[in-house]
Amino acid sequence: MTDGFAVEVLHLTKHYGRRTVVDGLRMRIPTGAVAGFVGPNGAGKTTTLRMLLGLVRPSAGEGSVLGAPLTRPQRYLPRVGALIENPALYPGLSGEHNLAVLAALGGHDRSRIPEVLAEAGLTGRGGDAFRTYSLGMKQRLAIAAALLADPDLLVLDEPTNGLDPAGIQQMRELVRTLARRPGDGRVRTVLISSHLLSEVEQICDWIVVMEHGRSVYHGPIDGLMAAGGRSVLLRPQHPDHLGAMAELTTGRNLSVRRDGDRLRVDLPPSVPGERGDQRYLDAESAMDAVLAELNRDAFAAGITLVEITPVRVSLEERYQSLVGGSAVDHAPGTSPVAGVSRELEGTR
Ligand SMILES: Nc1ncnc2c1ncn2[C@@H]1O[C@H](COP(=O)(O)OP(=O)(O)OP(=O)(O)O)[C@@H](O)[C@H]1O
């Protein structure tokens, strides 16, 4: 396990009975990143966060958090703050008083209360009774509580869940600021989970995309776009050939969807070349190589392609193709033919 990563896991696995909910997960989160854990419901995000927090024991795998092994959570948990289950807060007590109770329970310094209230955007409201708070304020008080330990790693599970649009916006702005620790400039890493890519895109600089307990991408958020920002539209002369062409494409391990009388093929950042799994480094030549291969395959199968159009892909589309279309509805007029998830690792 290397320095420079606040979280690093390898082959992390969790079985519940015969169900595997986290399946050989491999990911790294750089120190100081605001990292987004994104994936459809049931992808295993919460279970992974719970394993990182020592709340659930992994069935297999290894890892480290803040440089200490996952098997020794007591070594790193004092430097971790988390909002994964709502803390028990007393409705009749003020925000400040609630924090004082939690500080006493957790052995934290009470003098940090004004600072954490400020960090959570609750300055001036700390004296009000908790029950008078809006849902967004309650959520921010829970974050203030997680900040009491001045953590090096802050873990927030779906922090915008249940909030109204104004509350969501305030929470997003807050999360963005949390990695910039006030005062001494020490680095803090923030890990949030969300099922919305658009949210993660606005808040985070690092992304882990999960599907069926695996990471299908982890790396810089720009990398998801750069890595897979290209598709190609193929139109056979005869629409009857769409199925056969789709099979040829999936045979090359590419993800393909039907789009009217055309097929839309997503190009990964590095693709199997003619010589086994040779990796192409240059996106343009990789694209050219794939197009040439598909064209040759089509010709050999007696299929005439009358259109081959390269297109750029939005991050949202890229996410859809990575999670096999299970996270977001397909655009009108398109339907999944096959979704091939592949593990892509971004680099910095
Ligand atoms: N204690 C448990 N016992 C059995 N199954 C569980 C347990 N906890 C979670 N699961 C199952 O594991 C799967 C992954 O759940 P998890 O909550 O980690 O997913 P998630 O990605 O966080 O999804 P969501 O966004 O819906 O919370 C789900 O199918 C869930 O039902």
Structure tokens at 190: 């923030």
* Mean pLDDT per 10-residue section of the chain, whose length is 348 residues: 81 96 94 92 92 95 96 94 85 96 92 93 93 92 93 93 87 87 80 88 90 87 68 93 94 87 78 38 64 92 92 73 49 30 35
Structure tokens at 227: 């890595």
Ligand 1 centroid distance, CA of 65 (Å): 22
Q: Residue 22 in contact with residue 43, Cβ under 8 Å?
A: no
**Cβ–ligand 1 contact at 57 (below 6 Å):** no
- The total of other beta-carbon atoms located within 10 Å of residue 164's CB is 11
What's 56's DSSP letter? Answer: S
Residue 72 lies in a domain: yes
We report the CATH number of the domain holding residue 278 as 3.30.70
Instruction: Report in angstroms the alpha-carbon separations of 13 from 193, 203, 223, 316.
Output: 18, 28, 26, 28
Which of 171, 205, 225 lies at the terminal end of a domain, its last residue? 225
Instruction: Report in angstroms the alpha-carbon separations of 212 from 62, 170, 250, 345.
Output: 19, 31, 20, 17
Same domain membership, residue 123 and residue 12? yes
Task: Reduce the DSSP state of residue 15 to 3 states and report it.
Answer: strand
**Cβ–ligand 1 contact at 45 (below 6 Å):** yes
Instruction: Report in angstroms the alpha-carbon separations of 23 from 41, 134, 156, 212.
Output: 16, 38, 22, 7
Work out which ligand 1 atom sits closest to the CA atom of 17: 4
Residue 11 lies in a domain: yes
Residue 85 lies in a domain: yes
Work out which ligand 1 atom sits closest to the CA atom of 14: 12
Report strand pairing: 230-236 vs 214-220: unpaired
Ligand 1 centroid distance, CA of 296 (Å): 45
Residue 348 lies in a domain: no
**Cβ–ligand 1 contact at 2 (below 6 Å):** no
Instruction: Report in angstroms the alpha-carbon separations of 106 from 109, 219, 323.
Output: 9, 34, 39
Residue 134 lies in a domain: yes
Same domain membership, residue 283 and residue 216? no
Residue of 27, 45, 49, 216 best suited for mutating to test ligand 1, as the one with most atoms within 8 Å of CB: 45
Residue 318 — left, alpha, or beta (φ > 0 → left; ψ -120 to 50 → alpha)?
alpha
Q: Residue 208 in contact with residue 220, Cβ under 8 Å?
A: no
Task: Reduce the DSSP state of residue 302 to 3 states and report it.
Answer: coil
Same domain membership, residue 115 and residue 97? yes
User: What total of structural domains would you count in the chain?
Assistant: 2
Structure tokens at 169: 């916006």
Which of 225, 255, 283 lies at the terminal end of a domain, its last residue? 225
Residue 345 lies in a domain: no
Same domain membership, residue 36 and residue 155? yes
Give me the domain span that covers residue 255: 229-340
Which of 196, 225, 254 lies at the terminal end of a domain, its last residue? 225
Same domain membership, residue 101 and residue 147? yes
Burial class (CB in 10 A: 0-12, 13-18, 19+), 304: exposed
**DSSP string covering 141-175, please?**
HHHHHHHTT--SEEEEESTTTT--HHHHHHHHHHH
Same domain membership, residue 27 and residue 139? yes
Same domain membership, residue 106 and residue 75? yes
Same domain membership, residue 261 and residue 168? no
What's 199's DSSP letter? Answer: H
Same domain membership, residue 247 and residue 103? no
Same domain membership, residue 100 and residue 51? yes
Strand blocks (E) in 165-287:
189-194, 206-211, 214-220, 230-236, 255-259, 262-267
What's 215's DSSP letter? Answer: E
Same domain membership, residue 257 and residue 214? no
**Cβ–ligand 1 contact at 38 (below 6 Å):** no
We report the CATH number of the domain holding residue 23 as 3.40.50.300
Residue 347 lies in a domain: no
Query: What pTM was computed for the model?
Result: 0.74
Same domain membership, residue 235 and residue 215? no
